[in-house]
Each structure stands twice: as structure tokens, then as C-alpha cells.
Amino acid sequence: MILKKDNPDLFNALLIAEENHDGILFRLYDNRIFHVIVPPDTRLGKEITEIGYAFVNKYGGGKFYNIFQFGSFSDVDPELREWAADPNGNHYTHCDAIVIGNWAQKIVTDFYMTFNRPKKPTKIFNSVEKAIEWIKKIQKTTST
């Protein structure tokens, strides 16, 4: 099912699915980008991962190029950070692009990168546009 929404200038792809769960917006594009928009003041736990998996599986499953876009003062539980970095725990990911908007989030994500050392390509950005540019480079080297 193709939705009427698309953003060819930004994602260069059609939006094929979109769902909102307690303010967290999941979007899936036909170029295998999985975009998760986390509203301000939201803390993600392991349960949101299960909701994300159900969403992805509903529309075909497989591996995706993830963009996690965090609003101000949003955060991730330590358990979820550890799981995301573990190569045995996360089988749905080619790479993770983390989009943040302030210095406090930069400190937290730098700690994640240093302490948890994710095994899959992971990078921090200050804009979705830069995250997409990075993902397009990775897409050239991986098969979907």
C-alpha cells in the first residue's frame, strides 16, 4: 500500500506506512529507511522496540536503515541502549542514524557511542538531511 504522503526532496522515496503510538511516529519508506520521530520529553523503553518490530513486520520485515529523530529532553532507557548496541539483539538494522537537537543529547549520545560501542554503523547528526546523506552512502555498499 502506497500512502499519498511522500517527500521526494528529502527521502527520495515514497512513504509506504506511517503509524503513531503514544506520540511516537513510525514511518517506513520504500528505500528501506525506517524513520522514528520521538516527541519532546519522551523516554523510550524496550516496549517501544516491540511496537517498532510489529510495525516493520506488518510491512514486510527485513533489515532497515534507521533514523531516530529525538525531540528535546527525550531519552532512551539504558537497557534499550545496551540492546541496540548488541549485535545479537538487533537483527533489523543495517545502520542507525541518531538525530539530536541540543548539547545535552549530544553528551548522552557520545556516552552511548563510547560506552556501549554499537557494532552496526551508528552516527550522530544534527539534521535529518545529513542523516539521509550518510544512509545513502551506506545503501550503496549493502544489499537490502
Q: List the pLDDT tens digit at each of the 144 positions of the chain.
A: 334 454 556 888 999 999 999 999 999 999 999 999 999 999 998 899 899 989 999 998 899 999 999 999 888 888 888 878 777 767 788 999 999 988 888 888 888 888 878 888 999 999 999 999 999 999 988 854
Domains recognised in the chain with CATH numbers: 15-138 (3.40.525)
- Looking at residue 143, its pLDDT comes to 59
Provide the residue count of the chain. 144
- Looking at residue 89, its pLDDT comes to 67
- Looking at residue 119, its pLDDT comes to 85
Q: How many CB atoms lie within 10 A of CB 32?
A: 18
What is d(CA 90, CA 135) in angstroms, rounded to the nearest whole number? 18
Query: From residue 127, how far is each of 28, 50, 66, 76 by CA, in Å?
Result: 18, 26, 14, 19
